């Protein structure tokens, strides 16, 4: 392979040649980049059909991004006893576009992850309704 770098009108051509054999597919407990495989978790929140559509598309595309679990939150999640009291106490700080509910959802997800897990929060957009891509 050949790469060309141009800096301040000086041209530098560098050739990279790999002496390693092609990488074999990763083992089940190893990432494709080597080393321990991290568990990747997704958390999202949707309130209303136009947001829930995106949340469903995210859920349907988890394998593409090698995400193991999706914690999909919605308004009914806040009706569950463990979250309802918090929502009532903080209703003054919650509004449709953000508010205290977003850090609360992320905080609850952090409480569930284990050491070395990766946590991804993804908005369920009403404007870009698509799942995850490779």
The predicted-structure confidence for 37-88, as pLDDT tens digits, reads as follows 678 899 998 888 888 898 999 989 888 888 899 999 888 888 898 888 988 8
CA atoms of 74 and 58, how far apart (whole Å): 14
CA atoms of 58 and 128, how far apart (whole Å): 11
Question: CB burial class (10 A; 0-12, 13-18, 19+) of residue 46?
Answer: buried
Give 61's DSSP letter.
Answer: T
The predicted-structure confidence for 71-130, as pLDDT tens digits, reads as follows 998 888 888 988 889 888 888 887 766 678 888 899 999 998 888 899 999 888 777 777
């Amino acid at each position: 392979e050949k790469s060309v770098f141009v800096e301040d009108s000086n041209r530098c051509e560098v050739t990279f040649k790999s002496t390693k054999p092609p990488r074999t597919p990763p083992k089940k407990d190893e990432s494709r980049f080597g080393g321990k495989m991290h568990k990747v978790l997704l958390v999202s929140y949707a309130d209303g059909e136009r947001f829930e559509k995106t949340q469903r598309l995210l859920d349907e595309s988890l394998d593409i991004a090698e995400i193991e679990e999706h914690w999909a939150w919605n308004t009914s999640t806040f009706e569950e006893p463990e979250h309802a009291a918090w929502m009532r106490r903080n209703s003054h700080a919650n509004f449709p576009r953000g508010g205290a509910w977003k850090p609360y959802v992320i905080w609850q997800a952090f409480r569930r992850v284990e050491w070395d897990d990766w946590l991804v929060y993804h908005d369920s957009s009403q404007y870009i309704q698509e799942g995850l891509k490779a």
